[in-house]
C-alpha cells in the first residue's frame, strides 16, 4: 500500500513514466496484428483457388554482367500441354494460355485489358463464377467463335451498370481489329495467384491463336490442376520431369503451386512482422529507461523517508521490495492500458484501410507477449533503483536534507 500511495503523490510523473510502456505495448500488438491480418488476407486470396492449381510460366534469360533479364516467351509449347495431359497421371486437366494486353473499344469508350485465351476448363480450374450470361463452351472452342467473357472491372469501365451480354466490342492493336460478342460477365474475384480475372477478357484459345496472339505453336503459360489436393505435389513433380526432359534446363521454366506461394507468403510476412515488432519494442525499452530514471529520482527524494523506515525496523529486503513493487505496478498498469488502446486502434485501422482489404487481427499470444515484456521491463529497470534504495545507510539517510 505504501508503494501505491507514493505513486499517487505525483500523478503527472507517474503518468509520464507509464507513457513509454503504453506506446510500446500498443505498437507491438498492432504491428503483430497487421502482420497477422495481412497473412490471413493473402492466404485467403490464394486459397480461393484450391490447393490443386498448378501454373507453369516461362523462365528468364540474361540478368548477368549488367544485362537486363528477359522472359523466355517462346519456351513453352502446345506440345508440352499434350505431353502433360498424356504423361502425368496425377494431373486432371491442363490448358494452354495465350495472353497479351490490347486496347478494348466500345462505342466512344476504350480501355486496356489483358486478352486471355484458354480452354473452357480454365473457368473451373481457377474457380471463376459467372454473374451474367454464360461461359465459353467446347463448341465455341471448336468453331473459333468470336465470343468473350468479360471481367467485372472492364465491364464497369465500358458499360457502367448495364448488363454487357450481347454487346459487341473491338480488340485493337496496330493493324489488328477483331470484333467480339460478349456472352458473359464474371463476378468480381480479385487477384488469383498470377491472374486478375477482373481486368481480363477471356476468349477461346483457338480464337486467340488464330486472330490475336500468334506464337507459332508457343504458349504464354500453362494452367493445370491435380486430380486431388493429396496428389498436388506428385503432379508438380511430374510436370517438372516432363518439361525437363525436353528443355534440359530447369531455369527456362517455373512451376508454381499454391502450396509454394503460401509457404513463401508465410515466410515473408513472418519476417516483416518480426521486423515491425522489433522496431516497436524499442519504445518499450526507452520507456523502461524512463521508469528507471524516475525511480532513481524518487529514491533520492525519499532518502530521509528510507532512513526513518530503516530506523523503525524496516529491513533492506522490505525497502527493495517496496521500490520494486512501485516499478512493476507502473508497467503492469501501463501494459493493461496499452492492451486496451490496442483494440481501439486496431478497429480504427481496420475501418480506415477497409478499402485496401487490410485486416488487423489481434491474437492472444501477441497480447501475452507484449504484456509479459512490459512486466519484465518493470522488473529489470526497477531492480537497480530498488537496490540503491535498500543499500542506503540508515544514519546517512536520516542526515540527508
Average pLDDT of the residues in 102-107: 91
Q: What does DSSP say about strands 221-226 and 53-58: parallel, antiparallel, or unpaired? A: antiparallel
- Report the distance separating Cα 332 and Cα 22, nearest Å: 10
Burial class (CB in 10 A: 0-12, 13-18, 19+), 262: middle
Average pLDDT of the residues in 87-91: 91
Nearest to 103 by CA among 115, 91, 95: 115
Nearest to 131 by CA among 93, 170, 99, 159: 159
Nearest to 299 by CA among 209, 162, 391: 391
Q: Which of 76-90, 131-145, 191-205 has the lowest mean pLDDT?
A: 191-205
pLDDT interval class at 189 (50, 70, 90):
confident
Average pLDDT of the residues in 227-238: 83
Rounded to the nearest 5°, which phi and psi values hold at 68?
-75, 140
Nearest to 302 by CA among 370, 397, 208: 397
pLDDT score of 120 more than 70: yes
Average pLDDT of the residues in 146-158: 93
List CB contacts of 201: < 8 A, sequence separation 6 or more.
Answer: 102, 104, 113, 114, 115, 116, 148, 149, 150, 151, 154, 169, 171, 180
Please give the pLDDT value at position 267.
72
> Quick one: three-class SS letters along the chain?
CHHHHHHHHCHHHHHHHHHHHHHHHHHHHHHHHHHHHHHHHHHHHHHCCCCCEEEEEECEECCCCCCCCEECCCCCEHHHHHHHHHHCCCEEEEEEEEEEEEEEEECCEEEEEEEEEECCHHHHHHCCCEEEECCCCHHHHHCCCCEEEECHHHHHHHHCCCCCCCCEEEEEECCEEEEEEEEEEECCCCCECCECHHHEEEEEHHHHHHHHCCCCCECCEEEEEECCHHHHHHHHHHHHHHHHHHHCCHHHEEEEEHHHHHHHHHHHHHHHHHHHHHHHHHHHHHHHHHHHHHHHHHHHHCHHHHHHHHHCCCCHHHHHHHHHHHHHHHHHHHHHHHHHHHHHHHHHHHHHCHHHCCCCCCCHHHHHHHHHHHHHHHHHHHHHHHHHHHCCCHHHHHHCC
Higher local confidence (pLDDT), 6 or 35: 35
Average pLDDT of the residues in 76-81: 90
Rounded to the nearest 5°, which phi and psi values hold at 101?
-80, 135
Please give the pLDDT value at position 46.
63
Percent of the chain topping pLDDT 70: 79
Please give the pLDDT value at position 313.
73
pLDDT score of 272 more than 90: no
pLDDT score of 342 more than 70: yes
pLDDT score of 337 more than 90: no
Nearest to 185 by CA among 209, 158, 224, 210: 158
- CB 20, CB 290: distance < 8 Å: yes
pLDDT interval class at 147 (50, 70, 90):
very high
Taking all residues of the chain, what is their mean pLDDT, rounded to a whole number? 79
pLDDT interval class at 144 (50, 70, 90):
very high
Please give the pLDDT value at position 67.
43
CA 155 vs. chain centroid, Å, equals 28
Classify the C-alpha dihedral 151-153-156-158 as positive or negative. Answer: negative
pLDDT score of 62 more than 60: no
Please give the pLDDT value at position 401.
52
pLDDT interval class at 364 (50, 70, 90):
confident
pLDDT score of 70 more than 70: no
pLDDT interval class at 13 (50, 70, 90):
low
Please give the pLDDT value at position 10.
61
Please give the pLDDT value at position 215.
85
Higher local confidence (pLDDT), 286 or 197: 197
List CB contacts of 99: < 8 A, sequence separation 6 or more.
Answer: 114, 115, 116, 117, 200, 213, 220, 221
Q: Which of 51-60, 106-115, 134-143 has the lowest mean pLDDT?
A: 51-60
pLDDT score of 106 more than 80: yes
Per-residue pLDDT reduced to its tens digit, 285-320: 777 777 777 777 776 666 666 677 777 777 777 777
Please give the pLDDT value at position 260.
67
Amino acid at each position: 500500500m505504501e508503494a501505491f500511495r507514493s505513486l499517487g503523490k505525483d500523478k503527472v510523473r507517474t503518468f509520464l513514466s507509464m507513457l513509454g510502456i503504453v506506446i510500446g505495448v500498443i505498437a507491438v500488438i498492432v504491428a503483430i496484428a497487421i502482420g497477422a491480418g495481412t497473412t490471413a488476407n493473402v492466404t485467403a486470396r490464394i486459397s480461393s483457388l484450391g490447393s490443386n492449381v498448378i501454373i507453369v510460366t516461362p523462365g528468364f534469360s540474361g540478368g548477368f554482367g549488367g544485362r537486363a533479364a528477359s522472359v523466355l516467351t517462346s519456351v513453352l509449347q502446345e506440345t508440352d500441354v499434350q505431353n502433360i495431359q498424356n504423361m502425368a497421371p496425377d494431373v486432371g486437366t491442363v490448358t494452354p494460355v495465350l495472353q497479351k494486353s490490347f486496347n478494348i473499344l466500345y462505342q466512344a469508350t476504350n480501355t486496356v485489358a489483358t486478352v486471355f485465351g484458354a480452354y473452357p476448363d480454365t473457368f473451373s480450374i481457377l474457380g471463376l463464377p459467372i454473374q451474367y450470361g454464360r461461359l465459353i463452351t467446347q463448341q465455341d472452342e471448336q468453331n473459333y467463335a468470336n465470343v468473350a467473357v468479360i471481367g467485372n472491372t472492364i465491364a464497369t469501365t465500358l458499360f457502367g451498370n448495364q448488363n454487357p451480354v450481347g454487346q459487341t466490342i473491338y480488340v485493337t492493336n496496330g493493324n489488328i481489329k477483331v470484333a467480339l460478342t460478349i456472352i458473359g460477365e464474371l463476378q468480381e474475384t480479385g487477384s488469383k495467384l498470377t491472374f486478375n480475372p477482373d481486368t481480363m477478357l477471356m476468349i477461346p484459345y483457338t480464337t486467340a491463336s488464330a486472330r490475336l496472339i500468334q506464337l507459332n505453336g508457343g504458349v504464354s503459360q500453362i494452367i493445370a490442376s491435380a486430380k486431388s489436393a493429396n496428389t498436388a505435389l506428385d503432379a508438380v513433380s511430374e510436370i517438372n520431369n516432363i518439361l525437363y526432359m525436353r528443355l534440359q534446363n530447369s531455369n527456362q521454366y517455373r512451376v508454381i503451386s499454391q502450396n509454394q506461394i503460401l509457404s513463401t507468403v508465410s515466410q515473408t510476412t513472418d519476417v516483416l512482422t518480426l521486423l515491425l515488432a522489433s522496431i516497436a519494442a524499442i519504445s518499450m525499452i526507452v520507456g523502461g529507461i524512463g521508469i528507471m530514471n524516475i525511480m532513481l529520482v524518487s529514491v533520492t527524494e525519499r532518502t530521509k523517508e528510507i532512513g526513518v523506515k530503516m530506523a523503525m525496523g524496516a529491513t533492506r529486503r522490505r525497502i527493495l521490495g517496496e521500490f520494486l513493487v512501485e516499478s512493476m505496478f507502473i508497467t503492469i498498469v501501463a501494459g493493461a492500458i496499452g492492451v486496451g488502446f490496442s483494440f481501439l486502434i486496431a478497429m480504427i485501422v481496420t475501418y480506415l484501410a477497409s478499402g485496401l482489404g487490410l485486416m488487423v487481427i489481434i491474437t492472444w499470444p501477441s497480447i501475452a507477449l507484449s504484456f509479459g515484456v512490459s512486466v519484465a521491463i518493470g522488473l529489470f529497470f526497477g531492480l537497480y533503483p530498488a537496490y540503491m534504495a535498500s543499500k542506503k545507510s540508515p544514519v546517512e539517510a536520516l542526515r540527508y536534507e
